[in-house]
Amino acid sequence: MPSCPNGETALAEDDVERLRKSTVVKLYVRVSALSYSNSVSSPVLPYLIVYYGGGAAESGLYQAFNNLFGNLGQVLWGGVGLVMLVGLESFCCF
């Protein structure tokens, strides 16, 4: 097994690949759970906003921010996925 410059032993390539895949699976499970919980709560929240005294402006702001954060999340998770699956070098050159 190759050694690192500081004297530690490096992980074998298959170990690195296995760790990378398990990390990606955990990441997708978490994102899927968050997406499911958001999908369940999204139809109810505008009614709760109106019930607690909000109007059309507050409901519109909620919808606008919900869309904005979803779009920003796509960019963030796309970058994370590229770094984890392809490597940082390919992401920086993109």
Domain residue extents for the chain: 46-94
| Reported confidence tier of residue 8, pLDDT bands at 50, 70, 90 | low
Q: Is the pTM of this model over 0.85?
A: no
In angstroms, the first-to-last Cα distance of the chain is 33
Give the position of tokens 């690949």. 17
Task: Note the pLDDT of residue 4.
Answer: 52
Mind listing the pLDDT tens digit for each residue in 29-79?
887 888 787 778 888 888 889 999 999 899 899 989 988 988 888 888 887
Task: Note the pLDDT of residue 73.
Answer: 83
Contacts of 4 (CB under 8 A, 6+ apart): 10
Give the position of tokens 């955990």. 26
